[in-house]
Structures are given as structure tokens and as C-alpha cells.
Amino acid sequence: MPVEIDRLLRVSAAAVCRVIFPHPHTSATQLVLERRITHGETANRVLAQPFGGALRILDPDGLRAAVGNFTYDSIRSSDEQDLRILIQPNDWEMVKGFILAQMQSKQPDVIETDPCRELEEEFVESVGIRLLPEHYTYRPVGISVQDRPTPTTNPRLPGASTTRIYRVFEVAILDASVCGAVLKKSQRYTDEDLLALAEALAAHEGKGRVNGALVIPFEDVRNAYQRSSPHSSFQPLSIHGHTLDSSTAVLFEDLHDT
């Protein structure tokens, strides 16, 4: 990275969803994750991660007025107005405080904090169905702040020292047909299938990005994180033959009140 960027702190703020539903045969709570691979990235392996994504900056001028100047971490973030920004390290506490205030506000006017847009877009990509508001309920369950900067693997600015703020929501799928579609999608493709498809797309189109769904027993994932070392919270977790992205751990943290 250029020297001037090396001196800046990357801030990533996101809404992530703990998507759950009861298994149609056992009633045991299932966790739904998004499986994703882009050929040529992440060592060509499939990672499962929570649904959700970067918060959208609704009013960039309002954000600059509140926290001072910032730059986006990439052209793509600028185009999409994602809250993935570069700031002076000394401004972190001020920026963090403003983001938390927007997350906790009943009428946020500078930052979009609702998870529904990203959730519904990603369901189309991963499951192939349109998730409608009547199909699910959602509620905020807490906020996770990662004050300690760690290098990001995000391809927009790989290696950049990054602090993170997550607003975590619990999403309960109510519609039985949606639950069945998600379960069917999860069972239809293995990680190896998705990897092969990504490789084929890359050979044909130059870039192979593939999305899928993963349904896994909620209690199994929670128990696995409870057994893992606190020092491994930024590392992927392997369970039932799948690799969970490090961001999945936030779904099971002790969260701050919203």
C-alpha cells in the first residue's frame, strides 16, 4: 500500500444476521450462513459467513460534518457508499462514537443501519429466492466493537489495519416454504461443487464468483465457538467439513446492549 494509506486506519461497519429456523423434521434450531467463493481469492476455498454487509452511508456530507474528513477504501466502496473508510487513527474514538449513536438511534439519518436490504439481496444470490418481509422477523440483539486493529483480508484493500463495528440482528424465518428452499439449497451443493463451479466460471468469464447457502445446527456452531480459544476469534473455524469465516464468531459473542 502507498505510504500515506499505511498511516491511516481502515474502519468497517456492518450489519450481520443470525438467521435461524426450526428444522422441519426435528424442530432443532438451524443456523443459515452464506457460502461464498471467488476464484483466485481466499486461497480458493469456500467460506461460510453471516448474511449482511457493510452499512451504507446515506449522507456522506453529514458524516464528514460529524467526524471530519475521510476517504473510502476503494472505488467500489465509494460507488456503493459503503461504510468502509480510511481515517486518521487519532479520530477512531470520535468516529466510533458517532457510528454507535447512529446504530442505536430510532431514526438514523446519516448511516443506514437496517439489515433488510442486504439480507434480501444476498438471499437472491445464495438461495435463488426473493425473501419478502412477511417471510421473516428480525430484531437487534447487540453490537460488537473490535477496537484492536487487525489486517483485513478484504480484496478492496488487503492487509489494511482495520477496526470493526458490527450490529448483530437475529432473523427468524417464518415461512415453511422458504425454510424448505434454504435446506434444499444447502444439501444440493457441496463445497467441492461450488469450488468447481467457480473454477469453471473463471475459465470462461475471467472471474468466478459463486454463492450458496449452508444450513448447520445452531447448537453445534455455538458449542464449537465456546470451546475455541479466545485468541482464535479472528481465525476461520472448521466444523462438519465446512470452514466458517472469522466474522461468524460475532454472532455468538457477548454483545453490548443496543
- The predicted structure's pLDDT at residue 258: 56
Question: How is the chain split into domains, by residue range?
Answer: 3-252
Q: What is the DSSP letter of 207?
A: -
Q: What is the rounded CA–CA span in Å between residue 111 and residue 81?
A: 10
The CA-CA-CA angle for residues 1, 3, 159, to 5°, reads 30
Residue 153 pLDDT? 80
Q: Count other C-beta atoms under 10 Å from residue 138's C-beta.
A: 18
Kindly give the confidence (pLDDT) of every residue in the chain, 258 residues in length, as a single tens digit, with 9 standing for 90 and above: 444 667 899 999 999 999 999 999 899 999 999 999 887 665 678 999 999 999 999 999 999 999 999 999 999 999 999 999 999 999 999 999 999 999 999 999 999 999 999 999 999 999 999 999 999 999 999 999 999 999 888 778 888 999 999 999 999 999 999 999 999 999 998 999 998 988 888 888 777 788 999 999 999 999 999 988 665 556 789 999 999 999 999 999 887 765
Give the helix, strand, coil percentages of the chain, each rounded to 5. Answer: 40, 35, 30
Confirm whether pTM is higher than 0.85. yes
With beta carbons less than 8 A apart as the criterion, state whether 258 and 142 touch.
yes
Distance CA 115, CA 51 (A): 9
